[in-house]
Amino acid sequence: MINIFKSIPRIFSFSGKTSWAWYLILPALVLNNGCQSKQKPVLTPAVASEAIKAPVPDTTTKKVTPPPDTLAKAEAKKLAPDSLATAKPVAKDPPGWPVKMPNALPGAILPEKRIVAFYGNPLSKRMGILGELEPEQMFAQLDKEVAAWEKADPSTPVQPAFHVIVVTAQGEPGKGAKYRLRMSDHVAEKVIGWAEQKGAIVFLDLQIGRSTLQEEIPRLEPFLKLPNVHLGIDAEFAMNSTGVPGRRVGSYDAADINYATSFLASLVDKYQIPPKLLIVHRFTQRMITNYKNIKLDPRYQIVMHMDGWGNQVLKKDTYRAYIQKEPVQYTGFKIFYKNDKRKPGWRIMTPEDVLKLNPKPLYIQYQ
């Protein structure tokens, strides 16, 4: 097994009155060497043209010359074997793709657009780009990434987004021994305000520790009922009733994901709003169990998001092993500004690199 570990950042945050707490994250990227796959070489079709001249008519024998188009067809028939040898093979979809899913409802974002999101918490400079830079600098960087994706894939409009952690996993039990800290509403309100300035959408992300989605999601209804606010759940920090965040990787079952989507569907019905998005973080096999039991419904759209750092080979193989090979609905891919280039020879993947994946991710997150 190959293990890749993200950095261990700390964050100060508050809930209600100003209070401070340590925040601990330890993402891990576990990859089986056996999942590495070699791509078949792609042949580039040869581009050739040959002028075909009609022969001069023989007036002595009054031989009739076939029309030029007939000659062209005859010559093309002679060239057919060679052209077949250089023909580009047709790429096949991986097993299970494209996923059979309900028709999208009006206002659905996917698959018409690609989402490019900045991740983090405005209270921390170490959790991601969302809080690392001052707002105006961060906005400019987001604009730069959006432009790069629009250039790489002009056929797919880009929807900018902010992905903010509103429940953070903790290394200590804390109040109620839940190993999680809820942010005050001020954090979500600030990021939603930024989104209004940038024409962006917002994802509220949950790292629940020993809490449950049933405890954490309903309290976010005042925000989730807004048409531009969506949900993210991080399986890495879902400890159930045992375990400590950072000491092992957590997990969600299909039943947990189905609870989250059913709650989102109820909001769509209750408030008559467009379909909701659910982002599910994943980078190991055990983080998501019973994926085949995850339910689809036109009132929400699910993105299985590859959330692991490392060199390009590891990131691509992780995507294939845990996202591509266990199809749910749509896919996401994460770029780390620092960890993806932390070792010599590593570099950050470009939009062109990511677009070579199959299926092409429609949710891109930068940390």
Which region among 33-42, 97-106, 258-267, 312-321 has the lowest average model confidence (pLDDT)? 33-42
β-strand pairing of 158-169 with 180-182? antiparallel
Is there a contact between 340 and 315 (Cβ–Cβ < 8 Å)? yes
Q: How far apart (Å, rounded) are the C-alpha atoms in residues 294 and 328?
A: 7
If residue 222 lies in a helix (H) or strand (E), which one and from where to where?
A: helix 221-224
Decide if pLDDT at 73 tops 60. no
Helix/strand/coil for 35: helix
Which residues neighbour 134 within 8 Å (Cβ) at sequence distance 6 or greater?
Answer: none
pTM: 0.77
Half-sphere exposure (Cβ direction) of 214: Cα atoms closer than 13 Å: 4
Crossing angle of the two packed helices 185-198 and 135-152, in degrees rounded to 10: 50
- Would you state the pLDDT for residue 49? 30
Distance (Å, whole) CA 175 – CA 43: 61
* Rounded CA separation 288/281 (Å): 9
314 or 50, greater pLDDT: 314
> How far apart are the C-alpha atoms of 294 and 259, rounded to whole Å?
10
| 304, 282 Cβ separation under 8 angstroms | yes
- Is there a contact between 164 and 204 (Cβ–Cβ < 8 Å)? yes
pLDDT for 46 beyond 50: no
Average pLDDT across the chain, whole number: 82
pLDDT in tens, 215-252: 999 999 999 999 999 999 999 999 988 899 999 999 99
Residue range 134-161, pLDDT digits in tens: 999 999 999 999 999 999 999 999 999 9
Cross-strand pairs, 209: 238
- The predicted-structure confidence for 109-134, as pLDDT tens digits, reads as follows 999 999 999 999 999 999 999 999 99
